Structure 1
Amino acid sequence: MASIRGGPIPIDPASVAPQNLKTHTVKLFLADPEAQRLMLHSLPVALVDPQDYGAIFISGGHGIAWDGPFNKELRRLVEETYATGKIIAAVDHGPAALVHARNIRLGDPREGMPLLFRKDVTGFSNTEEEAIKRAALVPFLLEDRIREVDGIYVHALRDFDPYAVRTGQIITGENWQSSKATADLVVDALSFGVRNMP
């Protein structure tokens, strides 16, 4: 596990509110001593080398909407991960960390273009942000920003339904309900290899 600064990873208080602690996966995570140890002693993003991993997974929460797009080390990690052919996954507000990234793969016809250019991408929608009354609090609406960098924003038929999509090396999930679907796509991608991805 890694975070912007390293050390204890801050958690959005809403994520551990009583109504969100009922899900089986959250209970498993909170009861896992190794997961909790890693949460307290996360690696700073600046020290993460994409060569050491098959994929990176950027989780959601509103914090990443503020920190992710504007952190040069996280941007470096995202760009290098893509350039080396690895998987990049992000869920909920996590895709905010991708919106300023560029394709730095040498010789690629899209070198220098936004990483999300003409890719199907999802993330927390405008209507979901409005429904939880945080649209005026975030630095930008993720759905709008994805479109501004020429990503193709896709979403579930109904707000807060699980929805995940894969375009090549990029895997994204719409909201916190989409975490498992996003993780399943990552597992599939790693199982079959990046080269076999559409």
Structure 2
Amino acid sequence: MKILFVLTSHDTLGDTGKKTGFWIEEFASPYYALLDNGAEITIATPKGGQAPIDPNSATEDMATAATKRFETDAVAQNEIANTVKLSTVNAADYEAVFYPGGHGPLWDLANDETSIKLIETFNAAKKPIGFVCHAPAALKHVKNVEGFPLVKGKNVTGFSNSEEAAVQLTEVVPFLVEDMLKQNGGHYSKGDDWGVHVVTDGNLITGQNPASSELVAETLLKVIKPLIND
């Protein structure tokens, strides 16, 4: 069971002078949930090399069992420091792809042609594609096999406008995930702010926020296993 993780390479939070990147919980929780179930995971980024961790996600206040495990996991840390360049990845080598969030994807993965084509390839092959929190930003320009926005007519979720307002970044981000999903024709839903909310529509799995990351991974696993057994 080979799964591709795609992380952002972007580390600058707009014009604020602050750093961003991927949200460590949204990587660590799914990473260990899948790894512990026998998955072989490859981590890729647009630029390759070190994937930037959002410093706000690495604080003690944000710590979870998964992030604490990552802090003592030299193997996983080495994989984050030496990610594969996305342009070298072949979708045929993997059963599924998963995109952790953090604000970084809003700036790079949303517009990255290699990422866009990769998701389109996974989708055309009916392989599971998973996204959590801000990661659905990577779907902004992705088309389905008919040439329409991939999320058009699909049930989806992602970081909500109210959650973005709560972290006071509404005016900083290049676009709002909730608005984009709706504009592209997605049937957007959300749960309580910061609560667990995961939506599955065919091979597309989306989670609303960091709290939803582990359930996204568990859902991804449930979708993958029958495909492998076939």
Q: Give the structure-1-normalised TM-score.
A: 0.91
**What amino acid does structure 2 have at the position aligned with 1:20?**
M
Alignment partner of 1:2: what SS?
Answer: strand
State which of 101, 112, 120 in structure 2 corresponds to 1:60: 101
How do 1:138-149 residues align onto structure 2 when only pairs under 5 Å count? 138-149=173-184
Say how many residue pairs are matched: 187
Following the alignment from structure 1 to structure 2, what is the Cα–Cα distance between the partners of residues 30 and 103? Answer: 38
Give the unaligned 5+ runs of structure 2: 1-42
> Structure 1 residue 175 and structure 2 residue 209: aligned?
yes
List per-residue Cα deviations over 1:88-143 (Å, max 9, x = no partner). 10001000001210013xxxxxx111110111111000000000101111100110
Following the alignment from structure 2 to structure 1, what is the Cα–Cα distance between the partners of residues 225 and 98? Answer: 16
List per-residue Cα deviations over 1:124-169 (Å, max 9, x = no partner). 000000001011111001100000000110111x100011111011
Alignment partner of 1:184: what SS?
Answer: helix
State which of 56, 60, 70 in structure 2 corresponds to 1:14: 56
State which of 148, 164, 187 in structure 1 corresponds to 2:221: 187
CA RMSD in angstroms, aligned pairs only: 1.3
Instruction: Select between 31-40 and 85-94 the one with higher mean Cα deviation.
Output: 31-40
State which of 72, 87, 92 in structure 2 corresponds to 1:51: 92
**What amino acid does structure 2 have at the position aligned with 1:82?**
N
Extract structure 1 runs of 4+ deviating beyond 2 A: none
Percent of aligned positions that are identical: 37
Corresponding position of 1:137: 172
Following the alignment from structure 1 to structure 2, what is the Cα–Cα distance between the partners of residues 166 and 28? Answer: 28
State which of 64, 83, 97 in structure 1 corresponds to 2:138: 97
Following the alignment from structure 1 to structure 2, what is the Cα–Cα distance between the partners of residues 30 and 152? Answer: 37
Corresponding position of 2:127: 86
How do 1:30-45 residues align onto structure 2 when only pairs under 5 Å count? 30-45=71-86
> Structure 1 residue 166 and structure 2 residue 211: aligned?
no
Corresponding position of 1:107: none
CA deviation after TM superposition for structure 1 residue 20, in Å: 1.1
CA deviation after TM superposition for structure 1 residue 30, in Å: 2.3
List per-residue Cα deviations over 1:4-58 (Å, max 9, x = no partner). 100000111111122112x111111222222111101101111111111111100
Alignment partner of 2:107: what SS?
Answer: helix
Following the alignment from structure 1 to structure 2, what is the Cα–Cα distance between the partners of residues 28 and 10? Answer: 18
Higher RCO (C-alpha under 8 Å, 6+ residues apart): 2
> Structure 1 residue 126 and structure 2 residue 167: aligned?
no
**What amino acid does structure 2 have at the position aligned with 1:74?**
S
Corresponding position of 1:114: 149
